[in-house]
Structure 1
């Protein structure tokens, strides 16, 4: 959940200049002369185009044919979980068993933030990120890498999006749940002036959206898009039985998404499903088998009942041996945790190419309309020409990400220019690594001219749904 897109591809020293790419505990390694020499050597090989000298990771999704290395000839994993830009074999050593004794489970306290993401809740409940649920980009980067083997490009993209849209980008801090006065300029001291950041649960922001797997839409639950809804998990369980032979497979979660989109759009008069947040929502469905499987999905890993229920905190009311076979099995909710009986994380990091391939599979299966409900109940379309291959869609989503933030931030932050500059600098390296043409508008200055440049360009990637759909949180009657 973040944006290791912070790595400048032009010099090793610039790679080391971004503190959120050196999570706690890695600063000494980054400053070690031998480590710097190795980074510079491999970076020089990379820049010289010696792709054969760089070890490419095999993502092996088994989803979109051919997605075992990044399309276009660049390495599958351009960002390493430890050293950043340079792929190495060190983070692909194979399966690792959890839980770990040094990260015991502890239920959250009354002031601890928890949100709609079961993965982040699990990380906080075990102390991989701060247990209070207030975390920095670097802490999320380190925690997701250690427990879930999430690639630094993917985790940094998601976490940076959360900090920009729902946190405080100056401190790179965010709540993994709702608003919290411990987050904000000067640790919240100026929230009375600037407002309290929404947290990643902020509706219409980057990380949260309608048609969630186990949470109700913001406008369908009196603004509560955080609480776990047992009936929705039961529906996902039914698809695991019907489509996944008892497992929460890609086929099962695709069908669950298709049904959730249908039901959510029918019930929610302010339904909003537009890029880039729609991509995050569909990605979250793929993450269920992609990260919570016992082992690596596509390589023998199984998204079984024990693993998925533990990470979601879905406790079956009937715990008898064969109860899981019952499609009418009822659930309650308990704090999310790593399966107590033991669980193996995926062996290879999930990087952006695999994640986007998963998003594309979910999208092509359900064919959801992209856009949002307008004020008069009409459908306001989002972008109309969405690519249907992983590399092109990756580039498109980067543009949508960039197009999304200026509109959200113009009226809420006086530091827009520096924030947009930060966003651009974090996105460009990863964008180039995917083989994308960098064409973000180079607007400068402030005011209406600055805004119009972005609004005109962004229409291609977010469509009018960004500004005219009521559920976007942006619409004004």
Structure 2
């Protein structure tokens, strides 16, 4: 196992943790499901959209950007896991399990495990002093750990400017919605556009990488767009019947803004449709190799079963690569947060304990 490898010396770890332990936070348990989980107005008087202030952070996730711009999250773009889980449920009616899993996945690879803070965009001092390397603590802008290539409206890292809205990609989304959805983004468009984005990246990005966890979050964003950005009053609970108009899509993707009078989903939802999108064009994880376009090679070591134990185990390995030899409160916080992440997998997977137990 990877966690048997130790990269930092004992003295390096001890010195770093002595400096940082005073800022450490004991991770609280994630909040539970919200009390009322039906549709309701979310673009309301208590949550007005406000333009960015100097220093406010936004990133590659339009949903989180929107929640911050409406005050469901701190408007500066730095939040705790509890704030993100609650905001995702309150603002979008995101299913509790999906919100918990996505939040702790992001925190474990992109956040500060000492201070319990995550930037929804780039690296910032507002998350506090960093744990020792090779930890990144780079926020969601960090490439190829949670976010990555083949995004719906953000450019691949190879082309630069990952977090910014890309009009060219959005124009492609509009074109696919016109061709396959009569002007709307629906489940059919989601599958067609996702496969197009993968093939386009293979043909244009010599560094294209499409392995876990990005392999799964890419399909996830295709489904989240349909599940969370459609007004909850459309009375369409059937997955195949949901559709997103392009004006609403633009409001989320470009402006980080709920449309006027927007109501959240009519029931808790999250990864509905991911399997259908994946099944439309079965595609294995892999990458372009040798720095060449159109040179995609499958990676048999990357899991491809959505929701399977391989996904969980592979993610734990990636966390361990960032924290190979944690000490003191950092080890404690890793154990606790990995256990929170494990929750949705507990019914079918054995818990991985690379750092032991408390």
Q: TM-score range by the shorter chain?
A: 0.7 to 0.9
Could you tell me which residue of structure 2 aligns to residue 427 of structure 1?
Answer: 341
Q: Among 247, 257, 266, which residue is 2:203 paired with?
A: 266
Q: In the TM superposition, what is the alpha-carbon distance from 1:309 to its structure 2 partner?
A: 1.7
Q: Tell me if 1:336 matches 2:256.
A: yes
Q: 1:368 aligns with which of 277, 283, 296?
A: 283
Report deviation, 1:297. 5.2
**Superposition pairs for residues 217-366 of structure 1, below 5 Å?**
217-221=156-160, 224-295=161-232, 298-299=237-238, 301-313=242-254, 335-340=255-260, 342-351=261-270, 355=271, 357-366=272-281
Could you report, residue by residue, the CA deviation over 1:47-85 in whole angstroms, capped at 9, with x for unpaired residues? xxxxxxxxxxxxxxxxxxxxxxxxxxxxxxxxx513xxx
**Equivalent pair of 1:261/1:368 in contact (CA under 8 Å):** no
Note the C-alpha offset of 1:430.
Answer: 2.5
Partners of 2:57 and 2:122 within 8 A in 1: yes
| C-alpha separation in 2, matches of 1:160 and 1:437 | 17
Contact kept in structure 1, 2:335 and 2:353, CA below 8 Å: no
Alignment of 1:417-456 (within 5 A): 417-432=331-346, 435-438=347-350, 440=352, 444=356
Q: C-alpha displacement at 1:18, in angstroms?
A: 6.2
Residue 202 (str. 1) matches residue 145 (str. 2): no
Instruction: Provide, for residues 74-128 of structure 1, a one-character-per-residue CA deviation record: whole Å limited to 9, x for no partner.
Output: xxxxxx513xxxxxxx434x32123110111101123110001100110111110
The correspondence for 2:313, drawn from 359, 384, 399, is: 399
Contact 2:135-2:323 at 8 Å conserved across structures: no
Distance in 1, Cα, partners of 2:174 & 2:290: 35
- Check the 8 A contact 2:251/2:257 in 1, yes or no: yes
- Structure-to-structure mapping, 1:152-191, within 5 angstroms: 152-183=96-127, 187-188=128-129
TM-score, length-scaled by structure 1 = 0.62
Q: Aligned equivalents of 1:216 and 1:123: distance in 2?
A: 22
Measure the CA separation in 1 of the matches of 2:30 and 2:321: 27
TM superposition shift of 1:406 = 0.9
Deviations 1:164-192 (A, max 9, x none): 11110122201100111111xxx23x579
CA RMSD in angstroms comes to 2.7
Q: Conserved in 2, the CA contact under 8 Å of 1:210 and 1:271?
A: yes
Q: CA deviation at 1:443?
A: 6.2
TM-score with structure 2 setting the length: 0.81
SS in 2 for 1:345: coil
| Kept in 2: contact 1:370–1:381 (CA 8 A) | yes
Separation in 2 of the partners of 1:406 and 1:227?
30
Which has the larger Rg?
Answer: 1
User: Comparing both chains, which one has the higher relative contact order based on Cα–Cα distances under 8 Å and sequence gaps of 6 or more?
Assistant: 2
1:161 deviates by: 1.5
Deviation per CA, 1:121-152: give whole Å up to 9, x if none.
Answer: 10111110000001111111111110101122
Are the counterparts in 2 of residues 119 and 311 from structure 1 also a CA contact under 8 Å? yes
Residue 427 of structure 1 deviates from its aligned partner by 3.4
The residue number in structure 1 matching 2:11 is: none
